[in-house]
């Protein structure tokens, strides 16, 4: 069912993340392994919990809840409750969270540029 706040929003693409994401090759993490992916999901605007689960197929409801709570506690995500016939909650980036998008872009670009080296190093360490 579409809510007034969800009307006109483009649904999140279930394939928006590469199947190997969150990649163990990324040399650093912000928060837990899902945090950066959640921030990306919120880049275009507020989303409901059920919308976030679409591209984050591998996440459990418990992990998503915990990640969202940590992001909210850290000031990166705001949680908004709407009362009405059906109570609902939406999550959105705060200005602080939006400020992380540029550094995330840089980290993603760096990882793409060094992908082969990262894979090679990881394979060597596993041998």
Q: Is residue 17 part of a domain?
A: no
The CATH number covering residue 102 comes to 1.10.10.10
Q: How many beta carbons lie within 10 A of that of residue 36, not counting itself? A: 22
Q: Is residue 65 part of a domain?
A: yes
Q: What is the pLDDT of residue 1?
A: 44
Q: What is the pLDDT of residues 22-72, one digit of tens each?
A: 455 555 566 788 898 899 999 999 999 999 999 988 899 999 999 999 999
The boundaries of the domain holding residue 58 are 35-126
Is the confidence at residue 77, as pLDDT, over 70? yes
Q: What is the pLDDT of residue 46?
A: 96
Q: Is residue 69 part of a domain?
A: yes
Q: What is the pLDDT of residue 49?
A: 95
**Alpha-carbon span 122 to 17, nearest angstrom:** 21
Structurally, the chain folds into a number of domains equal to 1
Q: Is residue 66 part of a domain?
A: yes
Q: Is residue 118 part of a domain?
A: yes
């Amino acid at each position: 069912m579409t809510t007034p706040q969800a009307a006109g929003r483009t649904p999140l693409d279930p394939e928006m993340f590469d199947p190997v994401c969150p990649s163990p090759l990324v040399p650093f993490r912000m928060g837990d392994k899902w945090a950066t992916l959640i921030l990306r999901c919120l880049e275009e605007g507020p989303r409901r919990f059920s919308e976030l689960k679409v591209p984050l197929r591998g996440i459990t409801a418990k992990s998503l809840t915990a990640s969202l709570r940590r992001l909210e506690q850290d000031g990166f995500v705001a949680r908004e409750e709407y009362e009405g016939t059906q109570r609902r909650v939406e999550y959105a980036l705060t200005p602080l969270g939006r400020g992380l998008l540029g550094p995330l872009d840089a980290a993603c670009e760096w990882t793409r540029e060094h992908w082969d080296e990262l894979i090679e190093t990881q394979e060597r360490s596993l041998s």
